[in-house]
Amino acid sequence: MADAPQKKILLIDDDKFLLDMYVIKFTGAKYEVQAADSSDAALKLLRDGFQPDVALIDIKMAGMDGLELLEAIRKERLIPKTVIIMLTNQGQSDDIARAQKMGVDGYIVKATTIPSEVLSEVEKIMTSKRS
């Protein structure tokens, strides 16, 4: 019996320390991980054909922020089947409302969530999305 294919995740955050920490956490959970430290780097990966099962996007980033990135992704229809989760310190209700209006599948506030909780929250959101 063949193993299920590895789930692919795209992590987008301009905080190198956090990015590295989440790469380690998701790699340890048997994900195939791609990391992008900017919206431009993320768009390049996606335009080059990377199709993640889930994308974790920070909102506050230099240059194009995470919600602007999401707009670009949606407009170009780059990853129509990907579960999109905002992973950010922006916990204000207007940020959350804006993200939900853009059709995100989940919203996790980094400041109140340790990496192992982020991992289980991502798993939960992906499972509910599939059913």
What pLDDT sits at residue 2?
A: 54
Let me know if residue 1 belongs to a domain.
no
Domain membership of residue 79 (yes or no) is yes
Given a cut of 80, whether residue 103 has pLDDT beyond it is yes
Q: What is the pLDDT of residue 54?
A: 96
As a whole number of angstroms, the distance between CA 116 and CA 119 comes to 5
Q: What is the pLDDT of residues 11-61, one digit of tens each?
A: 999 999 999 999 999 999 999 999 999 999 999 999 999 999 999 999 999
Question: Cβ neighbours of residue 63 under 8 Å, at least 6 residues apart?
Answer: 38, 39, 40
Q: What average pLDDT does range 62-78 have in this prediction?
A: 94
Calculate ∠ Cα 98-85-66, nearest 5°.
Answer: 55
Residue ranges making up the domain that contains 110: 8-130
Specify if 86 maps to a domain.
yes
Checking if the pLDDT of 1 tops 60, the result is no
Q: How many domains does the chain have?
A: 1
H-helix segments, 12-65: 16-28, 39-47
Name the average pLDDT for the chain. 92
Residues 50/73, Cβ–Cβ less than 8 Å: no
Task: Tell me the pLDDT tens digit for each residue of 106-119.
Answer: 999 988 888 899 99
Give the rounded distance of the alpha carbon of 39 from its chain centre.
Answer: 12
Asked if residue 3 is part of any domain, the answer here is: no
Kindly tell me the burial class for residue 8, based on how many C-beta atoms sit within 10 Å of its own C-beta (0-12, 13-18, 19 or more).
Answer: middle
Instruction: Count CB-CB contacts under 10 A for residue 123.
Output: 13
In a domain, 93, yes or no: yes
Tell me whether residue 2 is in a domain.
no
pTM above 0.75, yes or no: yes
Residue 35 lies in a domain: yes
Report whether pLDDT(131) > 70.
no
Assign 95 a pLDDT band (cuts: 50, 70, 90). Answer: confident
Domain with residue 38: its CATH number is 3.40.50.2300
Quote the pLDDT of residue 96: 87
